[in-house]
A and B are shown apart, each in its own frame.
Chain A
Amino acid sequence: MNFFEVVFQPGIMDIIVKMLIILVKAVVVVGVLMLHVTYATYFERKSIGHMQVRLGPMQVGPHGLLQPIADFIKLFFKEDIIPAGADKPIFFIAPVISIFAGMTAISVIPFFNGFVIADINIGLLFILAMSSLNAYGVMLAGWASNSKYSFLGSLRSSAQVISYEIAMGLSLVGVMMMSGSLNLSDIVRAQERFPGGFYWPQALGFFVFMVAAFAETNRTPFDLPEAESELVAGYFTEYSGMRFALFYVAEYVGMILMSLVAITCFLGGWDGPFAIPYVPFAWLFLKLYFFIFLFYWIRATVPRYRYDQLMALGWKLLIPLALLNILGTGLVKVLLR
């Protein structure tokens, strides 16, 4: 058997074509994600601006539309400063862990019926695992920076993230019980019997999940890790240039990820009240924009929590509520079996 016979076995073309399709899908998802992250920053500045009776960015392009692109290009030309006394390898790897955790978790989200990069049967567990990994990025960044602000910020942030991780995991158990699966496509299909999705039979779980999602992404009212007035920028105080941008992107990716999980688990995923022809992903994206707007809306409305209140809320309210939700949902499911 010569080389060509080995390479061109029957069926090998199928595998190559499949691989190419996967590659194209992955490139499309990463590209769309990065585009959304870039414009999420613009959307945030614009919506917060208008809520505070300002205009937001107006100079670069019509209504400042090219501002995020200008920012992004500028960051490429900035210096990547390593502070003296920093633990270099850890300092280098921390932002990569952060962004990797956020972006890979998105690979199991179904964007419309049949379109998902990795249709693995432990999808939801994979997302929880990856959002736990994010805590490593935060912790290592604060430790490696050799700066007191970074260190304090990372301590706060990691304690906050791991506390709310439990509440988040438990709040999703109700969804797992209702759908009997961890695969996100199956979860969306299970919601077809409930008009609108699981948000009303799982109202308690949805509430706990949303609060935990805000805490997980370090957004207001739980943005203590980067409480500007006391900790400058929290765990990424010492980061500059592209590495700072990676943390920044990771924060927005986390926000998009949490919105997508909320949509897939509680709001019927790609399904909508009526079918929109030719654009099967339209409902998912409309819901996503609503959720991203919700993040900004709450940022402009609610003041920051105190740290002891934050930890008390997580451990003394959300975890008991989530456990109650599990027992209640389980009882109903067993009774109706």
Chain B
Amino acid sequence: MTQRLWPLAVYFFLVIAMVAGMIGLSYVIGQRHRERETGQPYESGIVPTGTARLRFDVKFYLIAMFFVIFDLESLFIISWAIALRQSGWAGYIEILIFISVLVAALVYLWRLGALDWAAGKTEKER
């Protein structure tokens, strides 16, 4: 196993070196300006107002949570897929139950409206 892993380390090092080289070279030969508006964040030509770290929709946070849950479950499915030949019918029925639970969760989120992004829907319309 170690035999196969160190080429990866060599490659990692090479990529880092290339990126560092690119940034270093442009740092050395690139232009430099220090004027009043150089560091201003772009806001379509007007002077930026307020902070850019805005409060954002909780839906993005929800999606992140769903991702953690579903991605974790997909790992279980992958480990079953590799052992498919050994596990046979017993494994298939078990994964059937597992995926049913997963689909039930998805249907629940769907019914709850957690996957809807269209604005303007009231509680009644759902």
Interface residues, chain A, CB within 8 Å of chain B? Answer: 19, 22-23, 25-27, 29-30, 34, 75-85, 96, 99-100, 103-104, 107, 117-121, 125, 132, 143, 145-151, 155, 158-159, 162-163, 165-166, 169-170, 173, 176-177, 180-182, 232, 237-238, 241-243, 245-246, 307-308, 311-312, 315-316, 319-320, 323, 326-327, 330-331, 333-334, 337
Contact = CB atoms under 8 A, between A and B. Distances in A.
Interface of B: 4-8, 10-12, 14-16, 18-19, 22-23, 25-27, 29-33, 38-44, 48, 51-54, 56, 59-60, 63-64, 66-67, 70-71, 74, 77-78, 81-82, 84-85, 88-89, 92, 95-96, 99, 102-103, 106, 109-110, 115-118
Given A79-B31, A308-B118, A327-B96, A169 B52 contact: no
B52 A173 contact: no
Given A147-B48, A315-B106, A330-B81, 16 more contacts: A26-B10, A81-B39, A99-B15, A99-B19, A107-B7, A118-B8, A120-B8, A150-B52, A166-B71, A173-B77, A182-B78, A242-B25, A245-B22, A246-B23, A315-B66, A326-B99
Nearest to A319: B106
A173 B29 contact: no
Given A77-B30, A103-B15, A327 B78 contact: no
Secondary structure of the A contact surface, majority rule: helix
24 contacts: A29-B11, A30-B15, A34-B18, A77-B29, A79-B30, A83-B41, A107-B7, A117-B11, A119-B4, A120-B8, A146-B51, A147-B52, A151-B56, A173-B77, A177-B81, A315-B109, A320-B103, A320-B106, A326-B77, A326-B81, A327-B95, A327-B99, A330-B92, A337-B88
Contacts of A330: 81, 84, 92, 95
A337 B48 CA distance: 65
Given A79-B33, A119-B4, A148-B43, A22 B10 contact: yes
A320 B18 CA distance: 41
B112 to A, nearest CB: 12
B12 A242 contact: no
Given A30-B18, A145-B52, A241-B26, A162 B63 contact: yes
Contacts of B38: 81
B82 A180 contact: yes
Contact of B14 (A19, A27, A143): A27
A50 to B, nearest CB: 31
Nearest to B20: A96
A80 B27 contact: yes
A100 B15 contact: yes
Nearest to A183: B4
A326 B51 CA distance: 46
A319 B7 contact: no
Contact of B26 (A75, A162, A308): A75
B55 to A, nearest CB: 11
Nearest to A323: B99
Contacts of A170: 74, 77
